[in-house]
Structure 1
Amino acid sequence: MGKSKLLEMHNVGIVVESLDQVISFFEEVGLSLEGRMVVAGEWAGKVTGLGHQKVEIAMMVTPDGHTRLELSQFLSPKTISDHRTAPVNSLGYLRIMFRVDNLEELLSRLTKFGAELVGEVVQFGNVYRLCYIRGVEGLLIGLAEQIGTQTATDILENK
């Protein structure tokens, strides 16, 4: 057997307070609920290092079926810290970026879920219009609408 190869990025996980609210928010963004279940027992705690735990999880999937967002609501043990309101430059801080086809329209719908712009909608070269929002539960989410044929890699490589 040779060296292990990375096959794909399967999911990103976020711990939330209200699974129902966060599922509804991400469905509005455009993800679909792939499944929902309670995970509990000694085996689960061995993976996370938390010991015995009980967690309700929901797996959301992007329209292309390639990327997933795993939402976890810990029933036990209780969460011990909250990083949701930390500034974007905090070490280890998580944000998710989605590419969308109509940024303004999506922003208007997400504000009905309490989403707020962090800064402004800006243009990155001739590549994207983008912004950060604080979504449901204060989660930091990036939204980007491609506006040209140039890619971000082109800009990074000075093409």
Structure 2
Amino acid sequence: MTKSKLLEMHNVGIVVESLDKAVSFFEEIGLTLEGRMVVAGEWAGQVTGLGNQEVEIAMMVTPDGHTRLELSKFLSPKTIADHRTAPVNSLGYLRIMFRVDNLDELLSRLTKYGAKIVGEVVQFENIYRLCYIRGVEGLLIGLAEQLGSQTATDILENT
């Protein structure tokens, strides 16, 4: 039998309270709404282990078309836990990091969505300016502006 191989990372899923607010926020960052629908029924619950469920999802896609963010609002069963405002050193979901082309301009636009910088905007060598923000619904988002042609991956590969 041929060993299965990874083909791509398709999406990351985040559960939110307001799909409309989350879609608007991630559109402001630069993702595009690819589609929106309700997924319901026992078959869906067989995948998640929740039994009969009803979830409204919005699939967002990055400009390069390679990566997606699936935003979900559970209609039933209701959500039972909230980890959105946990600090960065918590177990489980940490954050999503986006590479952007003008960090300061984007930060000024995201403030109208209630985004707040967690610490400071810092510079990592001559490679990135970056920060963490608490975005819509308290989600932890990383934003990085690449300064030159070298990336953090380049550094890791040369160590």
Aligned to 2:77: 77
Aligned to 2:29: 29
Q: For residues 93 and 28 of structure 1, what CA distance do their matches in structure 2 show?
A: 22
Deviation of residue 94 (structure 1)? 2.8
Q: For residues 83 and 61 of structure 2, what CA distance do their matches in structure 1 show?
A: 24
Deviation of residue 153 (structure 1)? 2.3
Q: For residues 11 and 76 of structure 2, what CA distance do their matches in structure 1 show?
A: 22
Aligned to 2:117: 117
Aligned to 1:107: 107
Alignment of 1:30-109 (within 5 A): 30-109=30-109
Q: For residues 66 and 16 of structure 1, what CA distance do their matches in structure 2 show?
A: 23
User: Which contiguous aligned blocks of 4+ residues in structure 1 show a shift greater than 4 angstroms?
Assistant: none
Deviations 1:79-117 (A, max 9, x none): 000001110100113310000000000000001111000
Q: For residues 93 and 44 of structure 1, what CA distance do their matches in structure 2 show?
A: 22
Partner of 1:112, secondary structure, is helix
Q: For residues 4 and 158 of structure 1, what CA distance do their matches in structure 2 show?
A: 29
Q: For residues 154 and 54 of structure 2, what CA distance do their matches in structure 1 show?
A: 45
Aligned residues: 159
Query: Percent same amino acid at aligned positions?
Result: 87
- Given the two structures, how large is their TM-score scaled by the length of structure 1? 0.97
- Given the two structures, how large is their TM-score scaled by the length of structure 2? 0.97
